[in-house]
């Protein structure tokens, strides 16, 4: 799985004028399933994100995880993380998992995060979404379970 993790002071996602998810301090996670991903990859990624020490302590060092600060997670499916862009100028997305697997693994990812006792808000799989955020830091990380 691929994910872009952004430390935020707030974030929200809207579909057709309806807010489907909104968080305060925490993480916005854009996530993409790949064809070779397994349920173990999903659980590993969720666990790693929960424990990433990217929030500042009292000394200004990144020593706290989203778990430590009791933050929330906004999880948004984003197949475009699998973009193939080297050839031509229009990216291709055939490297992403097929939609049925992508949705199943996105749902599993959200479930794994909730098992870790997070408030988890979501977008809507396959929808045209508008995502708003205030990136804190900015802190943005690229994670790929294939690495």
Active site residue 20: no
Active-site pick, 6, 14, 55, 79: 79
Q: Which is catalytic among the residues 55, 78, 105, 122? A: 78
Select which of 9, 38, 80, 84 is catalytic.
80
φ/ψ region of 16 (left if φ > 0, alpha if ψ in -120 to 50, else beta) reads left
Q: Which two tokens stand for residue 103?
A: 């949705």
- CA 144-145-147 angle, to 5 degrees, is 75
Cβ contact 30:107 at 8 Å: no
Active site residue 84: no
Please say if 93 is a catalytic residue: no
Catalytic residues: 78-80
């Amino acid at each position: 799985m691929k994910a872009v993790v952004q430390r935020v002071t707030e974030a929200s996602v809207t579909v057709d004028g309806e807010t489907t998810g909104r968080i305060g301090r925490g993480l916005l996670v854009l996530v993409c399933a790949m064809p070779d991903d397994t349920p173990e990859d999903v659980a590993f990624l969720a666990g790693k994100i929960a424990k990433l020490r990217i929030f500042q302590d009292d000394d200004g060092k990144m020593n706290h995880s989203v778990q430590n600060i009791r933050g929330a997670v906004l999880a948004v499916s984003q197949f475009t993380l699998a973009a193939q862009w080297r050839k031509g100028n229009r990216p291709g997305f055939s490297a992403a998992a097929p939609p049925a697997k992508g949705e199943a693994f996105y749902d599993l990812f959200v479930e794994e995060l909730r098992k870790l006792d997070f408030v988890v808000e979501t977008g809507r799989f396959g929808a045209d979404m508008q995502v708003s955020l205030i990136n804190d830091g900015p802190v943005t990380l690229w994670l790929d379970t294939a690495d």
